[in-house]
Amino acid sequence: MRMAIDQARAAGAGGDIPIGAVVVDSGGEVIATGSNSREIDCDPTAHAEILALRAAGKHLDGWRLTDCTIYVTLEPCPMCAGAITMSRISRLVFGAWNDEYGAAGSRWDLVRDQRLNHQVEVIPAIMESDCSALVRDFLAEKRK
């Protein structure tokens, strides 16, 4: 999660909402990272999770990320939760809850929806105060 926080800080420094993601393989090796870059890339899909999933797929030379874990500083939105589920990620670990757009247990629970053909194990609230402070402080500064 500390690496994901570093990725989030990089996104914040670039003017984007500070969210970071890291994908590790079954052996615990980091295979991909991502940080929000919607503003820089002018891309509404450039969320940290999406970028990390794309990089992980390239690293593994395939789209199935079975036995991988994704660490994210903020509970994923519906778009990212859908991508995590469709990539066959085994485990999602996130820091702060996303009461507005969260789709891994707070607002919705897309990643564990039994109607889908894959469910993701969810481990929430890891380093929650550190992760929530990133977004809270960033938004407070933007509102000044």
Separation CA 34–CA 72 (nearest Å): 9
Q: What single-letter DSSP state applies at residue 112?
A: G
Parallel, antiparallel, or unpaired for β 69-74 and 20-24? Answer: antiparallel
What are phi and psi for residue 17, nearest 5 degrees? -55, 130
Distance CA 60, CA 1 (A): 21
The answer to whether residue 39 is catalytic is: no
Measured from the Cβ of residue 40, the count of other Cβ atoms closer than 10 Å reads: 13
Catalytic residue among 29, 39, 49, 141: 49
CA dist 5 and 120 (Å) reads 22
Query: Residue 135: left if φ>0, alpha if ψ -120 to 50, beta else—which one?
Result: alpha
Q: Report the catalytic residues.
A: 49
